[in-house]
Amino acid sequence: MIATTLTIAGSDSSGGAGIQADLKAIAANGGYGASVITALTAQNTRGVSLAEPVSLPMLDAQLAAVFDDLHVRAVKTGMLPTPEIITRVSHALREHRPATYVLDPVMISKSGFELIPAESVSALIDHLLPLATLVTPNVHEARALSGMAPIRDLDEAERAGRRILASGARAVLVKGGHLDHPEAVDLLVTPERTEAFSAPRLRVSHTHGTGCTFAAAIATWLGHGAELEQAIRGAKRFLTEAIRNGLEVGGGIGPTDPFWFLSSPETASDWARQLAELRETGGA
């Protein structure tokens, strides 16, 4: 049976981030994507001009519609704009207990638009961190979740990750896009160990939706049955190529290309074969 990954996040009207990016990443990594929209945003490649949360009855109805009918193996959350929405989502996760929950703590858009207020950060720490299989903050989000500043290198990233673990998450992946390091290094911190995942630091312009895409890909790999390290490694390869092949869409920061593997028959065949083996073996 194809793995169903549910994304609970905001909508990006330009299609480069949020729900739209998540669904593309889930499909590109061999999963079936379902969605619960938490907020509507008016945005394009130049930035966000307006964001509005959905009503609580609409949120509840979407959650019920998905969980009552589909077998959800993995959940990924992104933009959760209000404490009330965070609380409702946490109740749904506690009730339905998906095997995997990846928390992408979306707080600020790439253009600097504040997507959630401070009280929502506190609610997220109290209600969702204890449920998370994996939390995927960038440096700015890790500061907010850990109360630690600055975070400049891998040692400080590890200390921040351990503070976030103390809030109840099972694992933290501090993304290294803003760290002082020659490569793009993401640091996995668990109670037992740390592990670095490296990729070339690409000098490109079109990176809209990278965080959403990465977290959704990891959740999909976990939904297929991959172990955490294997899921991060596979998703990082996927994201690196999506960034490398970023799309010149609009007049600002364009999105990554989640279907980069369609550039040639050989690349498409190789990626499809890898995903087929993952689905057949359950990550073993």
CATH classification at residue 146: 3.40.1190.20
- Walk along the chain (284 residues) in steps of 10 and give the mean pLDDT of each run: 90 97 98 98 93 97 97 97 97 98 86 75 96 96 91 92 96 87 91 94 90 97 96 97 95 96 96 92 70
Overall domain count for the chain = 1
Q: Which of 15, 176, 209, 246 is labelled catalytic?
A: 209
Q: Which of 7, 210, 213, 220 is labelled catalytic?
A: 210
Query: Would residue 209 show up in a list of annotated catalytic residues for this protein?
Result: yes
Query: Would residue 77 show up in a list of annotated catalytic residues for this protein?
Result: no
Query: Would residue 133 show up in a list of annotated catalytic residues for this protein?
Result: no
Instruction: Show Cβ contacts of residue 104 under 8 Å, excluding neighbours closer than 6 positions.
Output: 9, 76, 77, 78, 135, 136, 211, 212, 214, 215
Query: Would residue 236 show up in a list of annotated catalytic residues for this protein?
Result: no
DSSP label of 3:
P
The tokens describing 249, both together, are: 């869409």
Q: Is 197 helix (H, G, I), strand (E, B) or coil?
A: strand
Query: Would residue 210 show up in a list of annotated catalytic residues for this protein?
Result: yes
Q: For residues 12 and 254, what is the distance between their CA atoms, to the nearest angstrom?
A: 13
Q: Which of 33, 211, 223, 254 is labelled catalytic?
A: 211
* Nearest residue to 76 via CA among 27, 119, 31, 22: 22
First to last CA, the chain: 17
Q: For residues 152 and 150, what is the distance between their CA atoms, to the nearest angstrom?
A: 6
Q: Which of 175, 190, 223, 225 is labelled catalytic?
A: 175
Query: Would residue 45 show up in a list of annotated catalytic residues for this protein?
Result: no
Q: Give CA separation, 76 vs 49, 132, 138, 192, 274, in Å.
A: 25, 10, 16, 24, 22
Q: In one letter, which amino acid is 64?
A: A
Residue 249: how many CB atoms within 10 A of its CB?
17
Sign of CA dihedral 98, 34, 129, 120: negative
Model confidence pLDDT, tens digit, residues 193-237: 999 999 988 889 899 999 999 999 999 999 999 999 999 999 999
pLDDT of residue 113: 67
Query: What's this model's pTM, rounded to 2 decimal places?
Result: 0.95
Model confidence pLDDT, tens digit, residues 107-134: 876 656 677 788 889 999 999 999 999 9
Q: Which of 15, 41, 100, 212 is labelled catalytic?
A: 212
pLDDT of residue 111: 57
Which residue range is the domain that position 87 belongs to? 4-281
pLDDT of residue 32: 97
